[in-house]
Amino acid sequence: MALRIFLPAPTQLSQDQLEAEERLRVQKSYSTALVSSHREPPPYGHRKGWVPRSLEDFADGGAFPEIHVAQFPLEMGRRKKTSNALAVQVDAEGKIKYDAIARQGQGKDKVVFSKYTDLLPKEVLNEDTPELQKPDEEAVKELTEKTRLALEKQVSQKIAAAMPVRAADKQAPAQYIRYTPSQQGVAFNSGAKQRVIRMVEMQKDPMEPPRFKINKKIPRGPPSPPAPVMHSPSRKMTVKEQQEWKIPPCISNWKNAKGYTIPLDKRLAADGRGLQTVHINENFAKLAEALYIADRKAREAVEMRAQVEKKMAQKEKEKKEEKLRELAQMARDRRAGIKSHGDKGGEDSEARERDEIRHDRRKERQHDRNISRAAPDKRSKLQRDQERDISELIALGMPNPRSSSEAQYDQRLFNQNKGMDSGFAGGEDETYNVYDQPFRSGRDMASNIYRPSKNIDKDAYADDLDTIMRTRFAPGKEFSGADHGQRRDGPVQFEEDPFGLDKFLEEAKQHGASKRPSTSSRSKDDYHDKKRRKE
């Protein structure tokens, strides 16, 4: 204490002195405060009868050894429920061991790399440094031997389980052990200082089945703690890099399980079209050329043929015209009374002409009959027009029922029921009121709409459909009320000539030779002409 007076005051106070000063200050503040908030333990020596009850009673310090009561300063030492917290450990230099958690379940000798220095590259060492040398032969041999024995033991255990049962193996001979017990005295071991123990290996029953069940499955124990990761975390992926790794979906050329509709360019995307160069054979071009030439030649041939035919047709036409001209001339001559040939020849020619006319007309009549027999559906032109559809008629431009020259009024103007302000419909666009009447209002509608009746057959065949079906047509059989005319010249029977036309015609033929120009011929001519003109 005396030394402190002589020395100058310290400029830097140590930790203890600072704390002491703090305490002094606090104590001074005690006296000024009305109520003291801290509760400090009584100083050493004055603690008799005092028991720390709460955490604050310990006030920074630890347990009081002189107070014989269980104390838990800072709640240390209490029997807590299982917590897996690892206590903080400190290494030899006083630094906290942060890798204690990485070495938790393992022995302290286990090599675990957890420091930053472990991942820094070392200096390049010379080849001769001792660290890089392999361990010498002897150490290696020893290790090999040790390993081999251990592995053999393992293997033999595994195999022995599978080997068949053999006789019991001989046990090793008995071992004798001299044992000196620690508790000695007259009472123990009947006074003797040492004991000899005979140790014998217990016999294993070769026929004994396994003693324990090993088929039970138990969950695996916790693994060893994972090794600390000694590299920087992977770099973040940029959007561009992510785009680079995008794999397009697979569109099969064969399967489409969900039946997606996929556009054609996607279907052919993976086809490899862009990778191949297309090689086209030259012969395709040659073929195209040849076809082109052939086409041209064919066209030329067709044209020539057409021209030739045209010429031929023209010649024919000219010939026919000539003929017609001649005929016309002859007719004119005859009309004028000029005899083109001799009399006989003239009468013959007239008869011939009449025969020709008759022949032609018979031919026409037969032709019409044939048509009507063969194609009964082929109606006359008028009938056909009547049965046409409206669109066809419009397309053909035929009907126009109101093609009259006088002005036509919209019939809606003459509306009787509604007043003047009817007809405009308030400006609505949706109504279709361009026309007032239908086109052909119902005139042909009814007839155009085909409605088959229930008794189609009745309409067609009258009521005796059944009889008709059963009875066959017998051409020889006559109708019930018909004449029994036996004579059959053709399908149609002609009766006796009622008007005497045949006689008349025969007479005409006979008198054709002797010319009676005035009456018969003229009348015949008139008749012929009229007929002709009609047709």
Partner 1 sequence: MDVQKHSVHTLVFRSLKRTHDMFVSDHAKSVALDEERNPSEGGVHSMALALPPSQARHDTSRTGASVSDIHRHAGGAERSHAHSTSLMEGGGTRNSALTRKAPTMPKPQWHPPWKLFRVISGHLGWVRSIAVEPGNQWFVTGSADRTIKIWDLASGKLKLSLTGHISTVRGVAVSSRSPYLFSCGEDKQVKCWDLEYNKVIRHYHGHLSAVYDLDLHPTIDVLVTCSRDATARVWDIRTKANVHTLTGHTNTVATVRCQAAEPQIITGSHDSTIRLWDLIAGKTRVTLTNHKKSVRTLVLHPRQYTFASGSADNIKQWMFPDGNFIQNLSGHNAIINTLAVNSDGVLVSGADNGTIHMWDWRTGYNFQRIHAAVQPGSLDSESGIFACLFDHSESRLITAEADKTIKVYKEDDTATEESHPINWKPEILKRKRF
Collapsing DSSP states into helix, strand and coil, what is residue 197? Answer: strand
Does residue 139 belong to the site contacting partner 1 (CB under 8 A)? yes
If the CB atoms of residues 132 and 264 are measured against partner 1, the closer one turns out to be 132
> Nearest CA to 53 among 71, 40, 78?
71
Query: Hey, what are 172's tokens?
Result: 């090793």
Any residues with CB less than 8 A from the CB of 103 and at least 6 apart, and which? 110, 112, 225
Phi-psi group of 185: left, alpha or beta (phi > 0 → left; psi -120 to 50 → alpha; rest → beta): left
User: Residues 87 to 116: which contact partner 1 by CB under 8 A?
Assistant: 110-113, 116
117 is a contact residue toward partner 1 (CB under 8 A)? yes
- In this chain, which of 1, 87, 159, 197 binds partner 1, going by CB under 8 A? 159
Task: State in angstroms the smallest separation of the CB of 69 from partner 1.
Answer: 49
Residue 276 found at the interface with partner 1 (CB under 8 A): no
Part of the chain binding partner 1 (CB under 8 A), chosen from 36-44, 62-70, 139-147, 284-292: 139-147
Residue 164 in contact with partner 1, rule: CB under 8 A = no
Distance between CA 528 and CA 357 in Å, rounded? 8
The one among 55, 59, 96, 155 contacting partner 1 by CB under 8 A: 155
Q: How far apart are CA 510 and CA 358, in angstroms?
A: 16
User: Min. distance of Cβ 254 from partner 1 in angstroms?
Assistant: 24
CB atoms within 10 A of CB 52: 20
Asked whether 465 and 458 are in contact (CB, 8 A), the reply is: yes
Smallest distance from partner 1 to CB 265, Å: 25
Site membership for partner 1, residue 467 (CB under 8 A): no
Query: Closest separation between CB of residue 206 and partner 1, Å?
Result: 22
> Which tokens go with 18?
């600072």
CA–CA distance, 505 with 522 (Å, rounded to integer): 15
CB-nearer residue toward partner 1: 134 or 373:
134
Among 18, 119, 237, 468, binds partner 1 (CB under 8 A): 119
Whichever of 235 and 484 has its CB closer to partner 1, that residue is 235
Count of C-beta atoms within a 10 Å radius of residue 296:
10
Q: Which CB atom, from 70 or from 160, has the smaller least distance to partner 1?
A: 160
- State in angstroms the smallest separation of the CB of 74 from partner 1: 36
Neighbours of 103 (CB within 10 A): 20
Task: Give the residue with the Cβ less far from partner 1, 127 or 282.
Answer: 127
Binding of partner 1 at residue 277 (CB under 8 A)? no
Q: Does 138 bind partner 1 (CB under 8 A)?
A: no
Q: Is 140 in the site for partner 1 (CB under 8 A)?
A: yes
Q: Which of 55, 96, 150, 468 binds partner 1 (CB under 8 A)?
A: 150
User: 168 CB contacts (<8 Å, ≥6 apart)?
Assistant: 203, 204, 205, 206
Q: Does 227 bind partner 1 (CB under 8 A)?
A: yes
The smaller minimum CB distance to partner 1, of residues 160 and 177, is found at 160
CA angle 29, 33, 35 (to 5 degrees): 125
**Rounded distance, CA 100 to CA 87, Å?**
9
Closest to 195 in 3D by CA, of 183, 206, 203, 207: 183
Establish if 501 lies at the interface with partner 1 (CB under 8 A).
no
In angstroms and rounded to an integer, the radius of gyration of the C-alpha atoms of the chain is 69
158 in contact with partner 1 (CB under 8 A): yes
Structure tokens at 80: 């807590």
Give the nearer residue to partner 1 in terms of CB position, either 119 or 291.
Answer: 119
Does 307 bind partner 1 (CB under 8 A)? Our answer is: no
> Could you give the CA distance from residue 459 to residue 446 in angstroms, rounded to a whole number?
18
Site for partner 1, rule CB under 8 A: 110-113, 116-125, 127, 131-135, 139-140, 143-144, 146-148, 150-151, 154-155, 158-159, 223-224, 227-231, 234
